A and B are shown apart, each in its own frame.
Chain A
C-alpha cells in the first residue's frame, strides 16, 4: 500500500513546475489548435452547408411559393401545404408509405434469423454470408429492371408457377392494386436484407461466445436462445437497424418505383419520394413539389433522429 502510493506525488510535483512555466506557450498552442481545427472542419462544413442545409432552407422557401411551369414565383404562404391536405394523390402516397412501414417486422426479423444461423457456424456459413450480400451490391435501378423481366406476366416466375400447377398464382404481379405494392416491397427486401445480415453479424461479434454456448449446453433451443439471449444482448444493433429501415424504406424505393411501376397501376405504388420527383420534374410544379419534399423530410427526420442520437453518443463517448 505505502509502496504503491509513495512514488505517486513525486511525478505530480515534478510535472507542475515545468507546467506553470509553460503556461503562455500552452495558450499559444491553444490558439494554434483553434486555427487548425477551423481549417480541418471547413471542407466538411462547406459540403454539409452547400449541399444539404442550403438546399433544405431553399426547399422550405420554395414550398411557400406558387410556381408552376416556367413562370416566375409568387409568395403563397401555406397554400401548398393546405393543398396537400386534400390532394388524394398525396394522401394515398403517405398511406402507401405507412403500409410499407408496416412491413417493418419482416425487415427486422428475417435478417436477424439468418445472421444468427450464420453466426452459429451452420455448414457452409461463409458461403451464405458471401451470397446474401450480393443483392445489396447490385444497383437498385438494375434490380428494378431485372425484376421487371422476372415478374413479367410471361416471365420465369409465372412460368415456374404454371409448371408446378399453381396457375391461379401466376398473376400480373406489377399490375394489381395490392400485388404491385407487395412486389415492390418484396423486391426492396431482396435488395437490402443482406445489409441487415451484415449489420447483425457485426453486432453478434460483440456477444461472448461462452454465453451462447452455455445456453446451448443448458438445452435452450434455437428460438429460445434467439429471443432470450441474442435479442436482449443485441438491442442496440436491433434498434439501429430498425430505425435505419424505418427511415430507409421511405427513401430506398425511388429507383425501384422508377423501373418497376412508375407509381402505378393508378396510384397503387405512389410513394412520397416518387411524387416529389414527378411533381417537380414532370408536372413542373416546383412549389408544390418542394412542399411534398419538406413533408417527406419531416417524416424521415422524425424517424431517424433516434439513430442520430445514438450515433452522436457513440462518436463522443470516451473509451472505457
Chain B
C-alpha cells in the first residue's frame, strides 16, 4: 500500500519535472512573442512579460521597414536551399561510391570526408574567407552555398553511408542483372529506401544552415546578399531599438525554421530513430 503510494508520488514528481523543463523551454519564446505584440509603453508597464491590453502589429511593420526583411529572407532562402541540395547530393554520390562500388581507396575517401568534421569553421575562419575571396565568391551566393555544402558534407556522408551499408549487396546485384544502371540503382532503389534518413538529414541541414551566423557574417559581410541572421545580429548592436521591436525581428527570423520543424516533426523523429536503429 505505502509502496504504491510512493510509486505514485514518484510518478507525479517526475511528471512535474517534465512540466518544469517544458515551461523553461517554451517561456523565452512566449515572452518574445508577447513582447513583440506590445507597444513600448505596454512593455514598460509589465516587466514580467505577461500579456497586457492593447495588441499592436506596429513592431512587425517597423522591423520589416528597418531590416529590409524581404531581401534578407530571400538571401537566406537561396543560400540555405542551395547549400542543402548540394550537400545532400554530394553526400549521396560519395556514399554510394564508397559503399556499393568496389574500388581501391574507397575507405580512404570515406575517412577523409568524415575526418573533416574535426575542422570547425571557427578555427579556420580567416583562411576560409581568404579562399572564398580568391575564388572571387566573396559576397556572392555561390561562395556561401559551397561553404555550407562543404560543412554539411561529413555528417551527411556518414548517415547515408551507414544506411546504404544496411542494404544487402545481393539486392544491388539483382538490379544490375535486370540491366539497371548505377544511377537507376541509386535514385530509384536506394534513395527511396533511405528516405527517412534523407528527410532527417535535409531538416537538420536546413536548421543549421538557416541559423548559422559565422559563415555568412564573414563571407557575405555587409553586402546586399547578407542572410537574415546577419541582419538580426545587427540588431544586437543597436541600443536605441526597443525590446518590442527587436522581439518582432527575432520572431520573423525564427518562424521559418519553427514552421518547418512543426510540419516535418514526424519525419524528423522517425528519421532520427531509423538512422541509429542499427
Tell me if B81 is interfacial: C-beta within 8 Å of chain A: no
B107-146 CB contacts (< 8 Å) to partner A:
107, 109-128, 130-131, 135, 146
Mark B2-38 against chain A: 1 for CB-CB distance below 8 A, else 0: 0000000011001101100110111011011001000
Q: Could you say which of A76-84, A98-106, A197-205 contacts chain B? A: A197-205
Q: B213 interface residue, CB < 8 Å from A?
A: yes
Interface size on B, residues (CB 8 A): 105
Q: Are A237 and B158 in contact (CB under 8 A)?
A: no
B273 at interface, CB cutoff 8 A: yes
Q: Mark A27-53, 1 if CB is under 8 A from B, else 0.
A: 000100110111011011101101111
A41 touches B161 (CB 8 A): no
CA distance A94 to B250 in the complex (A): 31
Comparing B58-66, B67-75, B187-195, B232-240, the segment that makes contact with chain A is B232-240
Interface pick from A2-10, A13-21, A251-259? A251-259
Structural contact, B28 and A147, CB atoms closer than 8 A: yes
Q: What DSSP secondary structure best describes chain B's contact surface?
A: helix
Q: List the A side residues contacting B212 at CB < 8 Å.
A: 139
Chain B nearest CB from A276 CB (Å) reads 6
Taking a contact as CB atoms under 8 Å apart, the answer to whether A255 and B120 are in contact is no
- Within the complex, the shortest CB–CB distance from A84 to chain B, in Å, comes to 14
* Interface residues on chain A, size class: 35 or more
Query: What would 11 more interface pairs be, CB under 8 Å, given A51-B151, A140-B211?
Result: A55-B128, A130-B265, A133-B261, A139-B211, A146-B29, A146-B31, A206-B277, A222-B14, A254-B122, A293-B126, A300-B123
**Chain A interface residues (CB < 8 Å from chain B):** 30, 33-34, 36-38, 40-41, 43-45, 47-48, 50-56, 58-59, 62, 114, 117-118, 122-124, 127-150, 154-156, 159-160, 163, 190, 194, 198-199, 201-203, 205-206, 221-222, 237, 247, 250-251, 254-255, 258-259, 272-273, 276-277, 280-281, 286, 289-290, 293-294, 296-297, 300-301, 304-305, 307-308, 311-312, 314-319
Q: What are 26 residue pairs bridging A and B, where the CB atoms are less than 8 Å apart in the complex?
A: A34-B104, A37-B97, A40-B96, A41-B94, A44-B109, A47-B146, A48-B153, A52-B124, A54-B131, A128-B21, A135-B25, A135-B28, A138-B29, A142-B232, A146-B31, A149-B247, A156-B31, A159-B48, A190-B24, A258-B233, A272-B122, A277-B125, A297-B119, A311-B158, A319-B166, A319-B168
